[in-house]
Amino acid sequence: MEDRRLLPKPIPVLTDEQWNFMAQRLDKPAPPEMQEELKQAVDIAKRIREE
């Protein structure tokens, strides 16, 4: 493979500790502040024009 500066870089693999931190959240809802942020984001995004 040629050497390229192309980014974005792939997501690094997770250690066991990191994996457990992320996996334990999977059966739970997102934190309330993220849910609220997403709700606001969807409202904002509806106002952006896509070309």
Binding site for other proteins (CB under 8 A): 4-19, 21-23, 25-31, 33-38, 40-42, 44-51
**Hey, is 40 helix, strand or coil?**
helix
**Hey, is 38 helix, strand or coil?**
helix
The nearest distance, CB 25 to other proteins, in angstroms, is 6
Q: Can you say how many angstroms the Cα of residue 8 is from the centroid of all Cα atoms in its chain? A: 14
Written as six digits, the tokens of 18 are 């990191």
The nearest distance, CB 9 to other proteins, in angstroms, is 7
The nearest distance, CB 24 to other proteins, in angstroms, is 11
